[in-house]
Amino acid sequence: PWPKMVSGGPRVGMVYSDAWIDWNRRHGERRGELTEALKGMRAIDDRFKATGREGLPEAYLLRFSPEGNGRAVLANGNPDTADHTAVFVPGTTSHLGSVGGDVKRMTDLWRATAEFPGTGSVSTVTWLGYDAPQDIVKDSPFSHYANDGAPAF
């Protein structure tokens, strides 16, 4: 039931069948969730591809799930063997689709630590391991988000 591309002279458009409209009405929200999950997966894959560039260490995917707001726990360097570990827990409005910016923050932090010789090995971890509050006004005042996520952390 996928839409078909049609061309009528200089104009190009999409023709939606009744089956597509019905499917989109029933599954449009899930399609949006999967689109966001794919965006997050691409950001994680980009970090893996960056290993070795500019001295970046190996990346370790410690947890992943597209369910809910998504889960991704990604480390720069091995957290099991590092002398020092920093963990960033994204907060309100974070979700798998926006994890690329969070991964970049922790990659930048790892790079900054590499500038200081003699500090030992470092691992920086992006921990998107819970469903963070999505609305700063109606969700963030409540502690249950943190309380529910604490055992996983």
Tell me, rounded to whole angstroms, the distance of Cα 85 from its chain centroid.
Answer: 20
Q: pTM of the predicted model, to two decimals?
A: 0.76
Could you count the other beta carbons within 10 Å of the beta carbon of residue 67?
10
Contacts of 112 (CB under 8 A, 6+ apart): none
Per-residue model confidence (pLDDT) at position 48:
97
User: Tokens representing 126?
Assistant: 């992006």
Average pLDDT, the chain: 86
CA-CA distances (angstroms) from residue 37 to 55, 70, 81? 28, 7, 30
| pLDDT (tens digit per residue) in 58-116 | 999 999 998 888 999 999 999 999 999 999 999 888 889 999 999 999 999 999 998 88
pLDDT exceeds cutoff 70 at 2: no
Q: State the Cα–Cα distance between residues 95 and 55, nearest whole angstrom.
A: 28
Mean pLDDT of 114-127: 90
Per-residue model confidence (pLDDT) at position 18:
86
Q: Is-contact 126 64, C-beta < 8 A?
A: no
Per-residue model confidence (pLDDT) at position 93:
83
Q: Is-contact 103 120, C-beta < 8 A?
A: no
Which of the two residues, 37 and 142, has the higher pLDDT score? 37
Per-residue model confidence (pLDDT) at position 8:
57
Per-residue model confidence (pLDDT) at position 82:
96
pLDDT exceeds cutoff 60 at 148: yes
CA-CA distances (angstroms) from residue 28 to 12, 25, 73, 144? 23, 6, 27, 29
Q: Is-contact 117 99, C-beta < 8 A?
A: no
Q: Is-contact 88 106, C-beta < 8 A?
A: yes
pLDDT exceeds cutoff 90 at 4: no
